[in-house]
Amino acid sequence: MRERNWTDCPCCGAKGAMRRQSGQTERFNPAGYAPVEVDGLDGSFCTSCGDGFWSLKSERRISSALAEHMAGQDSQRIVAAEIASVKEAADAMHITVQGVHKMMKEGRLRYVLAAGHRLPIRMYMTPAHAGEAAATHTGR
Ligand SMILES: [Zn+2]
């Protein structure tokens, strides 16, 4: 996917209103989880309506950070029966073990942290969830 260089705002239509901003910190409120702040973000934002987009690199950073944040909380409340091994996830999703690790790291497969290891959450281990990532469109 190529980075898009915004000039006019695609949300409110303001001409030439999009500005690149870096070093941003954004607070996220994932439903059912404590809020989390992610720093070091960059993207393009509208000077008129405040809406905007993160860069692709920042989107990946956000997905990864949110997944790890939620994993920390899920480790406290998800029971062992809901947690699978990486091998089980690979079989269920028809991908490699390496693919499962990559998806968890990128936040595309939900997991818990157990003794420093990422373990997949069973209910998300379906091929249908394979492309699902955290919402990264943002409002200001
Ligand atoms: Zn706008």
- In a domain, residue 48? The reply is yes
Number of domains in the chain: 1
- In a domain, residue 80? The reply is yes
In this prediction, residue 135 carries a pLDDT of 41
Distance (Å) from CA 41 to ligand 1 centroid: 19
- In a domain, residue 107? The reply is yes
Distance (Å) from CA 1 to ligand 1 centroid: 23
Q: How far is Cα 39 from Cα 15, in angstroms, rounded to an integer?
A: 28
Distance (Å) from CA 83 to ligand 1 centroid: 43
In this prediction, residue 127 carries a pLDDT of 74
- In a domain, residue 134? The reply is no
Distance (Å) from CA 48 to ligand 1 centroid: 5
In this prediction, residue 134 carries a pLDDT of 40
Instruction: Count CB atoms within 10 A of the CB of residue 127.
Output: 10
Q: What is the pLDDT along the chain (140 residues), one digit of tens a residue?
A: 567 788 999 999 999 999 999 999 999 999 999 999 999 999 999 999 999 999 999 999 999 999 999 999 999 899 999 999 999 999 999 999 999 999 999 999 999 998 889 999 999 998 755 444 444 444 44
| Residue whose entry in the numeric block shows the structure tokens 């405040």 | 50
In this prediction, residue 115 carries a pLDDT of 81
Residues 86/100, Cβ–Cβ less than 8 Å: yes
Distance (Å) from CA 28 to ligand 1 centroid: 21
Distance (Å) from CA 14 to ligand 1 centroid: 6
Distance (Å) from CA 9 to ligand 1 centroid: 5
- In a domain, residue 81? The reply is yes
- In a domain, residue 13? The reply is no
Distance (Å) from CA 25 to ligand 1 centroid: 20
Distance (Å) from CA 61 to ligand 1 centroid: 24
Domain housing 56: 18-129
Distance (Å) from CA 35 to ligand 1 centroid: 26
- In a domain, residue 3? The reply is no
Q: How far is Cα 109 from Cα 92, in angstroms, rounded to an integer?
A: 12
What is the value of pTM for the model shown? Answer: 0.77
